[in-house]
Amino acid sequence: QQQVKQSPQSLIVQKGGISIINCAYENTAFDYFPWYQQFPGKGPALLIAIRPDVSEKKEGRFTISFNKSAKQFSLHIMDSQPGDSATYFCAAYTGANSKLTFGKGITLSVRP
Partner 1 sequence: EAGVTQFPSHSVIEKGQTVTLRCDPISGHDNLYWYRRVMGKEIKFLLHFVKESKQDESGMPNNRFLAERTGGTYSTLKVQPAELEDSGVYFCASSQPDRITDTQYFGPGTRLTVL
Q: What is the chain's alpha carbon radius of gyration, rounded to the nearest angstrom?
A: 13
- The Cα 51–Cα 53 span in angstroms is 6
Query: Strands 10-14 and 106-111: what pairing?
Result: parallel
Chosen residue from 7, 26, 105, 107 binding partner 1 by CB under 8 A: 105
Give yes or no for residue 92 binding partner 1 (CB under 8 A): no
Question: Is residue 101 near partner 1 by the rule CB under 8 A?
Answer: yes
How many Cβ atoms sit within 10 Å of the Cβ of residue 45?
10
Q: Does 104 bind partner 1 (CB under 8 A)?
A: yes
CB closer to partner 1, 17 vs 57: 57
2 near partner 1 (CB under 8 A): yes
